[in-house]
Amino acid sequence: MSPAASRRCSTSSMSPTPPPLTRISTRVSTGRTSGRSTTRTDTDTHCGTAFRRPRSHERGQHMTDSTQSRLFKDAAAVAARAQRDPLRRAFRSEMELGFKRDARDIVTVHDKATERALVAALTAAVPDSAFLGEEGGAIGEGRVRWYIDPIDGTSNFAAGIAFWCVSIAAEVEGSIVAGVVYDPVADILFSADLDGAYLDDRPLRSRGAQTEDEATLITGYPNARDLDAHGDAALERFGALVAAYRALRRPGSAAMSICHVAAGWVDVAAGFAVNPWDVSAAGFILTQAGGVYRGMGGEPGAPVYHRPGYVATVAGLDCPTLDAVAEAITA
């Protein structure tokens, strides 16, 4: 049986039962000593910058960090799940659309209302919080910084396509320490803390194909802006990807795409016009599940989830065609 055929989510044990979520203290070390962090989660590679999962001896040095990370994860999960019913009621209903950059960049009243509700819920649970959201921008000051995308995949949401999610990540002193991506339609929750990654309450492992010719790729490249910027070169790159991979799909939503890689439901995802709120939670979940998330392009030294491009793969997948395309796009 090929690795792709044998992909699965491990269900060998349950995740720990967390303490109560009421007003979480943020007095948590992220392992910084003498000006450097022992749990830094990004490393330079030959092709982009990758999240690195903290090694077991590093995590073991900071038990308080694991406890706080789990609490942040659970606070985010409670906040995200609370939006299930209002978002389900809005989904596939008539709604008025607004636009940001152009007619392809949609926003709805539900994006804005959901972000306000998430900010309120997280502030109540973790008072020492600041926020960076897709709709509200930077809000407040606090030791814990939350990256929020209230509806990642708004175009799908507005069109009635069931591939969108709520995405929340917690950052402490420059490191992502917890992430949640919630699919309200399927009612499934991808999450991660410093101890691991989970699909609902089951441990999550990213396993799948090891070569491009047996792998499934999710990517939104090229979109209309890519065609305007790169013309025929964009179509040639797309053709190379179609030829290299067993299957190529374009469902939208970077966070959902990356989490499908974390679950081993697809083998690789890539995008080249993302923001921190799109990918910070999902990239952390993938890494904690044993997969690989690489940030591409952007400013030298920028955090991996602040880079405009990404390649996300199951553990062990070699993707030379995609790497070459990604390097050409982000050079």
CA angle at residue 315 from 312 to 320, to 5 degrees? 60
> Does residue 151 have a known ligand-binding role?
yes
Handedness of CA 248, 92, 226, 114 (dihedral sign): negative
Any known ligand binding at 134?
yes
Cβ proximity of 219 and 248 under 8 Å: yes
Rounded Cα distance between 63 and 69, Å, is 10
Is 152 among the annotated ligand-binding positions? Answer: yes
Would the annotation count 85 as a binding residue?
Answer: no
Entry field: residues in the chain = 331
Instruction: Give Cα separations from 277 to 168, 213, 256 (angstroms).
Output: 7, 31, 13
Name residue, tokens 């179609």. 242
The answer to whether 140 and 130 have CB atoms below 8 angstroms apart is: yes
Cα–Cα distance for residue pair 306/163, rounded to 1 Å: 23
Pull the structure tokens for residue 310. 């990404």
| Nearest residue to 214 via CA among 4, 1, 64 | 4
Tell me the sheet residues that pair with 202.
199
Cα distance between residue 274 and residue 35, in whole Å: 30
148 is in an annotated binding site: no
Count the neighbouring beta carbons within 10 Å of the beta carbon of residue 77. 21
Residue 242: its H or E element: helix 232-244
Annotated binding site for Mg(2+): 134, 149, 151-152, 278
Annotated binding site: 134, 149, 151-152, 278
